[in-house]
Amino acid sequence: MRGRNRMKVLITGGAGFIGSHLAERLLKDGHEVFVFDDLSTGDLDNVHHLEGNPKFHMKVGSVLDRDALEPLFAEADLVYHLAAAVGVNYVIENPLQSLTTNIRGTEIVLELANRKKTRVLIASTSEVAGKKNGKVMFSEDDDRLLGPTTVTRWNYSTSKAVDEMLGLAYWREKKLPVVIVRFFNVIGPRQSPNYGMVVPRFIKQALLGHPITVYNDGEQKRCFTDIEDAVDGLLALGEHPEAPGEIFNLGGDADTNEISIKSLAGKIKNLTESDSPVEYVPYEKAFAKGSYEDLNYRVPDLTKINSFTGYEPSVSLDMTLRKIIEYYES
């Protein structure tokens, strides 16, 4: 967004992994940034290096607190709504809070944004597609296939799908400029291993010499996205005139970044020169009974975002892993 007039940008969840990198880039481009975060999964350490910038403003609070959010929306020219309950472990352990934060929080954001018709980018997830059959890339308009409501893991997928529907309803009925962004396994420095994120968990285990724990048989495939590529996509969608009312996959290059979890563990073991053994843990031992089902294949079709913005991810998985390892070792 370098070519645009300088803006006041609000990032809910801005002290989190993705939000802190986005704030960093927006400030670098000369924008004024307002971060709002309850620090449930975010961390002040993620934005500590930004505190000396006079254009950076940090406020601690819950996205469920309308009164705390209201003055920030009065200032904002653009909103990135990243605040959410995230991470498999967190969602499984806190199902009610996760549903409330993700759904009611988004409702409040949309209600406040609608007052001035402020553009909102809503962070969604590849998990909304659910248990797609076959090894076919996910596109934005694919059918969804979910597990039963008794399995807690599907709370996250369902809550983010409701967020998407709310955003699209505001666009269709009230002409609020809403853009939906589905992230595919974004990774990079500052991502915490504490909430079930696989890459930082593997790297931490490898560096500490602990067993690298792979769930089930490790044949699940993912396509990882470097955080800098993800920020590039967010900035491009933040200014594209035809993006409102649309859903976009935002992910990595399948040619370089698609990998099985078993192979990922081996790659991280080699890059860290670790002696850690790789251990395979059945789902029923890793998670409470009846709380978890996995997705065997999750790779994005990036045709749409490329056609709108020219987005092409450029950072390979090996490059990203080396950056994360260096971050943990520093």
**What CA–CA distance (Å, rounded) separates 81 from 164?**
12
Strand-strand pairing, 56-60 and 32-37? parallel
Using DSSP, state whether 265 is helix, strand or coil: helix
DSSP one-letter string for 189-258: TT--STT--HHHHHHHHHHHT--EEEETTS--EEE-EEHHHHHHHHHHHHH-TT-TT-EEEE---HHHHE
Kindly give the residue spans of alpha helices, DSSP state H, lying in the chain.
Answer: 17-28, 66-75, 88-93, 95-114, 154-174, 198-208, 227-239, 254-257, 261-271, 283-286, 303-309, 317-329
Q: Mapping DSSP to helix (H, G, I), strand (E, B) and coil, where does residue 271 land? A: helix
CA–CA separation, 83 and 94 (whole Å): 15
CA of residue 95 relative to chain centroid, distance: 18
CA triplet 304, 127, 162: central angle to 5 degrees?
90
Question: Active-site residue 328, yes or no?
Answer: no
CA angle 230, 56, 82 (to 5 degrees): 40
From the candidates 80, 156, 297, 311, give the one annotated as an active-site residue: 156
Query: φ, ψ for residue 294 (rounded to 5)?
Result: -110, 165
Tell me if residue 27 falls in helix, strand or coil.
Answer: helix
Residues 6+ apart with CB under 8 A from 318: 267, 271
Residues marked active site are found at: 156
